[in-house]
Amino acid sequence: MILAMLWIPGPTEVRPELLAECARSMIGHRSAAMTELIERLDPGLRLAFGLEPDSSSQVAVHSASATAMMEAALIGCGPRVLALVNGAFSRRWFQIAQLLGKDAHAIEANWGEVVTSDALRQKLDVDGPFDAVTFVSSETSTGTLTALDSVADALIEHPDTLLFSDLVSYIAAAPVDFDANRLDFAFAGVQKAFALPPGVSVVCASERYLAQVESQPRRGFYLDPMRFFTGHAKRKTPATPCIPLYYALAKQLEDISSGATLPEGERHLAGAEAWTARFAKHVRMRAMTIAWAHSHGLELFPDEAHGSPTVSCIRGDSIDVAALVTGLAERGFEISNGYGELKGLTFRIGHMGDHTEDGLGELLAAADEVLAAQPV
Ligand SMILES: Cc1ncc(COP(=O)(O)O)c(C=O)c1O
Protein backbone atom coordinates (compact mmCIF):
# COMPACT_ATOMS: atom_id res chain seq x y z
CA MET A 1 0.00 0.00 0.00
CA ILE A 2 1.40 3.42 -0.95
CA LEU A 3 0.86 5.87 1.88
CA ALA A 4 -0.37 9.34 1.06
CA MET A 5 1.62 12.36 2.20
CA LEU A 6 0.23 13.65 5.49
CA TRP A 7 -1.40 17.06 5.35
CA ILE A 8 -3.69 16.25 8.26
CA PRO A 9 -3.71 18.19 11.55
CA GLY A 10 -1.13 15.77 12.94
CA PRO A 11 0.77 13.59 12.94
CA THR A 12 2.51 15.33 10.10
CA GLU A 13 5.25 14.21 7.71
CA VAL A 14 8.57 13.25 9.30
CA ARG A 15 11.82 13.82 7.38
CA PRO A 16 13.80 10.64 6.60
CA GLU A 17 16.78 12.01 8.58
CA LEU A 18 14.60 12.14 11.67
CA LEU A 19 13.17 8.68 11.07
CA ALA A 20 16.77 7.48 10.86
CA GLU A 21 17.45 8.90 14.33
CA CYS A 22 14.63 6.70 15.61
CA ALA A 23 16.43 3.65 14.23
CA ARG A 24 19.65 4.16 16.22
CA SER A 25 20.95 1.43 18.48
CA MET A 26 19.53 1.54 21.96
CA ILE A 27 21.42 2.90 24.93
CA GLY A 28 20.77 2.32 28.62
CA HIS A 29 18.53 5.00 30.04
CA ARG A 30 20.76 5.32 33.11
CA SER A 31 23.94 5.61 31.03
CA ALA A 32 26.28 8.54 30.38
CA ALA A 33 25.11 8.48 26.75
CA MET A 34 21.54 9.12 27.92
CA THR A 35 22.69 12.00 30.11
CA GLU A 36 24.40 13.53 27.07
CA LEU A 37 21.30 12.99 24.95
CA ILE A 38 19.05 14.77 27.49
CA GLU A 39 21.57 17.61 27.72
CA ARG A 40 21.31 18.17 23.96
CA LEU A 41 17.60 18.98 24.29
CA ASP A 42 17.59 22.01 26.56
CA PRO A 43 19.03 24.78 24.33
CA GLY A 44 16.46 24.13 21.57
CA LEU A 45 13.60 23.62 24.01
CA ARG A 46 14.36 26.90 25.74
CA LEU A 47 14.25 28.65 22.34
CA ALA A 48 10.97 26.92 21.48
CA PHE A 49 9.36 28.17 24.70
CA GLY A 50 10.94 31.62 24.23
CA LEU A 51 12.88 31.56 27.52
CA GLU A 52 15.57 34.18 28.14
CA PRO A 53 18.90 32.70 29.30
CA ASP A 54 18.27 33.91 32.86
CA SER A 55 14.66 32.67 33.07
CA SER A 56 13.93 30.50 36.11
CA SER A 57 11.25 28.56 34.20
CA GLN A 58 12.20 24.97 33.52
CA VAL A 59 11.81 22.75 30.47
CA ALA A 60 11.39 18.97 30.45
CA VAL A 61 10.48 16.07 28.19
CA HIS A 62 8.20 13.25 29.27
CA SER A 63 7.43 10.00 27.47
CA ALA A 64 3.69 10.47 27.29
CA SER A 65 1.28 12.05 24.85
CA ALA A 66 -0.07 15.58 25.22
CA THR A 67 -3.27 14.43 26.89
CA ALA A 68 -1.17 13.14 29.78
CA MET A 69 0.32 16.62 30.15
CA MET A 70 -3.20 18.10 30.48
CA GLU A 71 -3.63 15.73 33.38
CA ALA A 72 -0.17 16.42 34.85
CA ALA A 73 -0.75 20.20 34.81
CA LEU A 74 -3.90 19.78 36.88
CA ILE A 75 -2.38 17.24 39.27
CA GLY A 76 0.01 20.00 40.34
CA CYS A 77 -2.51 22.74 41.13
CA GLY A 78 -5.23 23.54 43.65
CA PRO A 79 -8.88 22.52 43.28
CA ARG A 80 -10.54 25.51 41.57
CA VAL A 81 -9.99 25.29 37.83
CA LEU A 82 -11.47 27.40 35.03
CA ALA A 83 -11.32 25.97 31.51
CA LEU A 84 -11.73 28.09 28.39
CA VAL A 85 -13.62 25.76 26.05
CA ASN A 86 -14.00 26.38 22.31
CA GLY A 87 -13.51 22.97 20.73
CA ALA A 88 -12.81 19.29 21.33
CA PHE A 89 -9.37 19.53 22.96
CA SER A 90 -10.18 22.43 25.27
CA ARG A 91 -13.30 20.45 26.26
CA ARG A 92 -11.10 17.42 26.95
CA TRP A 93 -9.03 19.48 29.40
CA PHE A 94 -12.24 20.54 31.20
CA GLN A 95 -13.36 16.89 31.38
CA ILE A 96 -10.02 15.84 32.82
CA ALA A 97 -10.42 18.50 35.53
CA GLN A 98 -13.85 17.08 36.35
CA LEU A 99 -12.54 13.50 36.35
CA LEU A 100 -9.75 14.50 38.73
CA GLY A 101 -12.42 15.77 41.13
CA LYS A 102 -11.51 19.44 40.72
CA ASP A 103 -14.07 22.19 41.30
CA ALA A 104 -14.11 22.65 37.52
CA HIS A 105 -15.77 25.59 35.78
CA ALA A 106 -15.88 26.37 32.08
CA ILE A 107 -16.53 29.34 29.84
CA GLU A 108 -17.88 27.98 26.57
CA ALA A 109 -17.53 29.72 23.22
CA ASN A 110 -19.04 28.42 20.00
CA TRP A 111 -16.69 26.20 18.02
CA GLY A 112 -14.60 28.40 15.74
CA GLU A 113 -14.80 31.34 18.14
CA VAL A 114 -12.54 32.29 21.02
CA VAL A 115 -13.44 32.95 24.62
CA THR A 116 -13.14 36.73 24.80
CA SER A 117 -10.97 38.53 27.33
CA ASP A 118 -14.10 40.30 28.57
CA ALA A 119 -15.89 37.00 29.23
CA LEU A 120 -12.81 35.74 31.08
CA ARG A 121 -12.51 38.93 33.18
CA GLN A 122 -16.18 38.78 34.07
CA LYS A 123 -16.02 35.13 35.11
CA LEU A 124 -12.93 35.78 37.23
CA ASP A 125 -14.64 38.71 38.93
CA VAL A 126 -17.89 36.88 39.59
CA ASP A 127 -16.74 33.33 40.37
CA GLY A 128 -13.03 33.75 41.15
CA PRO A 129 -10.54 33.31 42.54
CA PHE A 130 -9.42 30.23 40.61
CA ASP A 131 -6.26 28.25 41.21
CA ALA A 132 -5.69 27.80 37.49
CA VAL A 133 -7.05 28.75 34.07
CA THR A 134 -6.60 26.35 31.14
CA PHE A 135 -6.75 27.19 27.44
CA VAL A 136 -5.74 25.73 24.08
CA SER A 137 -3.70 28.08 21.89
CA SER A 138 -4.51 26.35 18.59
CA GLU A 139 -7.77 24.35 18.79
CA THR A 140 -6.93 21.66 16.27
CA SER A 141 -10.56 20.56 15.98
CA THR A 142 -11.57 23.90 14.46
CA GLY A 143 -8.28 25.54 13.44
CA THR A 144 -8.91 28.37 15.90
CA LEU A 145 -6.15 30.44 17.44
CA THR A 146 -6.39 31.97 20.91
CA ALA A 147 -3.60 34.54 21.25
CA LEU A 148 -1.41 33.80 24.26
CA ASP A 149 -1.23 37.47 25.29
CA SER A 150 -4.99 37.94 25.21
CA VAL A 151 -5.45 35.43 28.03
CA ALA A 152 -2.48 36.78 29.98
CA ASP A 153 -3.88 40.34 29.79
CA ALA A 154 -7.23 39.26 31.21
CA LEU A 155 -5.44 37.81 34.24
CA ILE A 156 -3.58 40.97 35.22
CA GLU A 157 -5.83 41.56 38.21
CA HIS A 158 -5.57 37.93 39.31
CA PRO A 159 -1.86 37.49 39.86
CA ASP A 160 -2.27 34.36 42.00
CA THR A 161 -4.13 32.39 39.34
CA LEU A 162 -1.90 30.00 37.45
CA LEU A 163 -2.15 29.93 33.66
CA PHE A 164 -1.86 26.66 31.71
CA SER A 165 -1.65 26.50 27.91
CA ASP A 166 -1.91 23.61 25.50
CA LEU A 167 0.59 24.48 22.73
CA VAL A 168 0.11 21.21 20.85
CA SER A 169 -0.51 22.49 17.31
CA TYR A 170 1.18 25.83 17.98
CA ILE A 171 4.72 25.54 19.33
CA ALA A 172 7.50 25.26 16.73
CA ALA A 173 5.13 26.96 14.26
CA ALA A 174 4.54 30.20 16.13
CA PRO A 175 6.33 32.21 18.81
CA VAL A 176 5.89 31.33 22.46
CA ASP A 177 7.03 33.83 25.05
CA PHE A 178 6.40 31.68 28.11
CA ASP A 179 7.41 34.21 30.77
CA ALA A 180 6.11 37.38 29.11
CA ASN A 181 2.75 35.65 28.60
CA ARG A 182 2.82 34.73 32.31
CA LEU A 183 2.39 31.05 31.53
CA ASP A 184 2.91 28.60 34.37
CA PHE A 185 2.61 25.28 32.56
CA ALA A 186 2.64 24.72 28.81
CA PHE A 187 3.17 21.61 26.72
CA ALA A 188 2.91 19.92 23.36
CA GLY A 189 3.26 16.51 21.79
CA VAL A 190 5.94 16.37 19.12
CA GLN A 191 3.84 15.02 16.25
CA LYS A 192 2.61 18.43 15.08
CA ALA A 193 4.93 21.34 14.21
CA PHE A 194 8.00 19.55 15.59
CA ALA A 195 7.29 17.05 12.78
CA LEU A 196 8.29 13.94 14.72
CA PRO A 197 6.55 10.64 15.37
CA PRO A 198 4.16 10.81 18.35
CA GLY A 199 5.09 9.58 21.81
CA VAL A 200 6.82 12.24 23.88
CA SER A 201 5.75 15.65 25.13
CA VAL A 202 7.80 18.78 25.61
CA VAL A 203 6.81 20.86 28.61
CA CYS A 204 7.72 24.05 30.45
CA ALA A 205 6.83 25.17 33.97
CA SER A 206 7.30 28.34 35.99
CA GLU A 207 9.10 28.41 39.31
CA ARG A 208 5.89 29.39 41.12
CA TYR A 209 3.98 26.48 39.56
CA LEU A 210 6.64 24.02 40.69
CA ALA A 211 6.54 25.54 44.17
CA GLN A 212 2.80 24.93 44.29
CA VAL A 213 3.10 21.37 43.05
CA GLU A 214 4.98 20.47 46.20
CA SER A 215 2.01 21.40 48.35
CA GLN A 216 -0.46 19.21 46.42
CA PRO A 217 -1.24 15.84 48.00
CA ARG A 218 -1.71 12.55 46.04
CA ARG A 219 0.22 13.41 42.88
CA GLY A 220 0.67 9.82 41.83
CA PHE A 221 3.95 8.73 40.29
CA TYR A 222 4.24 8.86 36.50
CA LEU A 223 2.44 12.18 35.98
CA ASP A 224 3.72 13.97 39.05
CA PRO A 225 5.19 17.14 37.50
CA MET A 226 7.71 17.47 40.32
CA ARG A 227 9.07 14.02 39.52
CA PHE A 228 9.57 14.58 35.79
CA PHE A 229 10.83 18.17 36.07
CA THR A 230 13.29 17.33 38.83
CA GLY A 231 14.32 14.24 36.93
CA HIS A 232 14.93 16.18 33.72
CA ALA A 233 17.06 18.75 35.57
CA LYS A 234 19.19 15.89 36.89
CA ARG A 235 19.26 14.30 33.41
CA LYS A 236 17.33 11.29 34.74
CA THR A 237 13.90 10.07 33.69
CA PRO A 238 11.41 8.65 36.22
CA ALA A 239 10.92 5.51 34.08
CA THR A 240 12.33 4.07 30.86
CA PRO A 241 11.88 6.86 28.29
CA CYS A 242 11.12 6.60 24.57
CA ILE A 243 14.80 6.79 23.64
CA PRO A 244 14.28 6.76 19.83
CA LEU A 245 12.21 9.92 20.10
CA TYR A 246 14.77 11.59 22.34
CA TYR A 247 17.31 11.08 19.54
CA ALA A 248 14.92 12.44 16.92
CA LEU A 249 13.89 15.40 19.09
CA ALA A 250 17.51 16.32 19.80
CA LYS A 251 18.30 16.35 16.08
CA GLN A 252 15.16 18.24 15.14
CA LEU A 253 15.79 20.95 17.78
CA GLU A 254 19.37 21.29 16.54
CA ASP A 255 18.25 21.37 12.90
CA ILE A 256 15.62 24.04 13.57
CA SER A 257 18.12 26.11 15.58
CA SER A 258 20.80 25.86 12.88
CA GLY A 259 18.43 26.90 10.08
CA ALA A 260 18.66 23.47 8.39
CA THR A 261 14.86 23.11 8.13
CA LEU A 262 14.36 26.49 6.45
CA PRO A 263 13.83 27.21 2.73
CA GLU A 264 17.17 27.25 0.88
CA GLY A 265 17.72 31.04 0.89
CA GLU A 266 17.28 31.24 4.66
CA ARG A 267 19.56 28.45 5.84
CA HIS A 268 22.24 30.89 6.98
CA LEU A 269 19.96 31.93 9.88
CA ALA A 270 20.61 30.44 13.30
CA GLY A 271 19.32 30.53 16.86
CA ALA A 272 16.26 32.66 17.64
CA GLU A 273 16.38 34.09 14.08
CA ALA A 274 16.02 30.62 12.59
CA TRP A 275 13.01 29.92 14.81
CA THR A 276 11.45 33.24 13.77
CA ALA A 277 11.96 32.34 10.10
CA ARG A 278 10.24 28.98 10.75
CA PHE A 279 7.26 30.87 12.22
CA ALA A 280 7.17 33.16 9.17
CA LYS A 281 7.03 30.10 6.88
CA HIS A 282 3.94 28.94 8.76
CA VAL A 283 2.30 32.35 8.38
CA ARG A 284 2.96 32.16 4.61
CA MET A 285 1.57 28.62 4.37
CA ARG A 286 -1.59 29.71 6.18
CA ALA A 287 -1.95 32.70 3.83
CA MET A 288 -1.49 30.43 0.76
CA THR A 289 -4.18 28.08 2.04
CA ILE A 290 -6.66 30.85 2.78
CA ALA A 291 -6.02 32.46 -0.63
CA TRP A 292 -6.62 29.07 -2.29
CA ALA A 293 -9.90 28.66 -0.34
CA HIS A 294 -11.04 32.11 -1.45
CA SER A 295 -10.21 31.27 -5.07
CA HIS A 296 -12.90 28.56 -4.77
CA GLY A 297 -15.38 30.82 -2.96
CA LEU A 298 -14.68 29.02 0.34
CA GLU A 299 -14.20 30.63 3.74
CA LEU A 300 -12.18 29.75 6.79
CA PHE A 301 -14.34 28.29 9.58
CA PRO A 302 -13.03 30.64 12.30
CA ASP A 303 -12.76 34.33 11.77
CA GLU A 304 -9.55 34.86 9.74
CA ALA A 305 -7.98 36.87 12.57
CA HIS A 306 -8.21 33.67 14.62
CA GLY A 307 -6.89 31.24 12.01
CA SER A 308 -4.45 28.71 13.47
CA PRO A 309 -0.89 28.91 12.10
CA THR A 310 -0.86 25.16 11.48
CA VAL A 311 -4.38 23.98 10.73
CA SER A 312 -6.74 25.67 8.31
CA CYS A 313 -10.30 24.53 8.90
CA ILE A 314 -12.31 25.50 5.81
CA ARG A 315 -16.08 25.57 5.37
CA GLY A 316 -17.13 23.16 2.65
CA ASP A 317 -20.62 24.63 2.14
CA SER A 318 -20.60 24.53 -1.65
CA ILE A 319 -18.52 21.37 -2.19
CA ASP A 320 -18.62 17.64 -1.51
CA VAL A 321 -16.10 17.43 1.34
CA ALA A 322 -15.89 13.62 1.39
CA ALA A 323 -15.21 13.57 -2.37
CA LEU A 324 -12.45 16.17 -1.94
CA VAL A 325 -10.79 14.08 0.79
CA THR A 326 -11.05 10.91 -1.32
CA GLY A 327 -9.95 12.60 -4.53
CA LEU A 328 -6.85 13.95 -2.82
CA ALA A 329 -6.07 10.56 -1.28
CA GLU A 330 -6.16 9.06 -4.79
CA ARG A 331 -3.58 11.65 -5.80
CA GLY A 332 -1.32 10.88 -2.83
CA PHE A 333 -2.34 13.60 -0.36
CA GLU A 334 -4.14 13.00 2.92
CA ILE A 335 -6.17 15.85 4.41
CA SER A 336 -8.84 15.60 7.13
CA ASN A 337 -12.57 15.85 7.12
CA GLY A 338 -14.16 18.12 9.75
CA TYR A 339 -13.91 17.06 13.40
CA GLY A 340 -16.95 15.51 15.11
CA GLU A 341 -20.11 17.41 14.27
CA LEU A 342 -18.20 19.43 11.68
CA LYS A 343 -17.66 16.31 9.54
CA GLY A 344 -18.90 16.96 6.02
CA LEU A 345 -19.32 20.65 6.80
CA THR A 346 -15.65 21.56 7.01
CA PHE A 347 -12.29 20.05 6.05
CA ARG A 348 -8.87 20.62 7.59
CA ILE A 349 -5.45 21.05 6.02
CA GLY A 350 -2.49 20.70 8.37
CA HIS A 351 0.32 22.89 6.96
CA MET A 352 2.98 22.55 9.58
CA GLY A 353 6.36 21.32 10.62
CA ASP A 354 8.82 20.64 7.83
CA HIS A 355 6.26 20.99 5.06
CA THR A 356 7.31 23.54 2.45
CA GLU A 357 5.48 26.13 0.45
CA ASP A 358 6.35 24.20 -2.73
CA GLY A 359 4.81 21.06 -1.25
CA LEU A 360 1.72 22.98 -0.23
CA GLY A 361 1.49 24.36 -3.76
CA GLU A 362 1.39 20.77 -5.08
CA LEU A 363 -1.34 19.79 -2.64
CA LEU A 364 -3.46 22.83 -3.54
CA ALA A 365 -2.98 22.22 -7.27
CA ALA A 366 -4.20 18.65 -6.76
CA ALA A 367 -7.18 20.03 -4.80
CA ASP A 368 -7.93 22.35 -7.75
CA GLU A 369 -8.07 19.31 -10.01
CA VAL A 370 -10.39 17.41 -7.68
CA LEU A 371 -12.74 20.38 -7.27
CA ALA A 372 -12.77 21.01 -11.03
CA ALA A 373 -14.20 17.52 -11.46
CA GLN A 374 -17.02 18.17 -8.92
CA PRO A 375 -20.43 19.18 -10.29
CA VAL A 376 -21.11 22.86 -9.49
C1 LIG B 1 -4.74 20.90 20.61
C2 LIG B 1 -4.56 19.48 21.02
N3 LIG B 1 -4.46 19.19 22.31
C4 LIG B 1 -4.28 17.92 22.73
C5 LIG B 1 -4.21 16.87 21.83
C6 LIG B 1 -4.02 15.49 22.33
O7 LIG B 1 -2.79 15.04 21.92
P8 LIG B 1 -2.39 13.50 22.09
O9 LIG B 1 -3.33 12.76 21.20
O10 LIG B 1 -0.99 13.49 21.62
O11 LIG B 1 -2.56 13.15 23.52
C12 LIG B 1 -4.33 17.14 20.47
C13 LIG B 1 -4.27 16.06 19.47
O14 LIG B 1 -4.45 16.24 18.31
C15 LIG B 1 -4.50 18.48 20.06
O16 LIG B 1 -4.58 18.78 18.77
Instruction: Output the pLDDT for position 180.
Output: 97
Would residue 69 count as lying in a domain?
Answer: yes
Looking at ligand 1, which atom is closest to the CA of residue 138? 1
Query: Which structural domain, as residue segments, surrounds residue 339?
Result: 5-12+270-370
Q: Is the CB of 140 under 6 A from ligand 1?
A: yes
| Mean pLDDT score, 299-306 | 97
| Residues 54 and 145 placed together within one structural domain of the fold | yes
**CA–centroid distance, residue 123 to ligand 1 (Å):** 26
Per the structure, the count of domains in the chain is 2
Would residue 376 count as lying in a domain?
Answer: no
Residue 376 confidence class, pLDDT cut points 50, 70, 90? low
| Residues 285 and 201 placed together within one structural domain of the fold | no
- Answer yes or no: are the C-beta atoms of 191 and 311 closer than 8 Å: no
Q: Is the CB of 189 under 6 A from ligand 1?
A: yes
Would residue 264 count as lying in a domain?
Answer: no
Would residue 72 count as lying in a domain?
Answer: yes
Q: Is the CB of 67 under 6 A from ligand 1?
A: yes
Which residue's CA is the nearest one to ligand 1's atom 7? 66
Mutate to test the pocket of ligand 1, among 8, 61, 67, 91 (most ligand atoms within 8 A of CB): 67
**CA–centroid distance, residue 15 to ligand 1 (Å):** 21
| Mean pLDDT score, 260-269 | 97
Q: What's the CATH number where 33 sits?
A: 3.40.640.10
Would residue 52 count as lying in a domain?
Answer: yes
Residue 223 confidence class, pLDDT cut points 50, 70, 90? very high
| Residues 285 and 241 placed together within one structural domain of the fold | no
Instruction: Output the pLDDT for position 3.
Output: 82
Q: Which of 207, 226, 255 is the last residue of a domain?
A: 255
**CA–centroid distance, residue 10 to ligand 1 (Å):** 9
Q: What is the pTM of this model?
A: 0.97
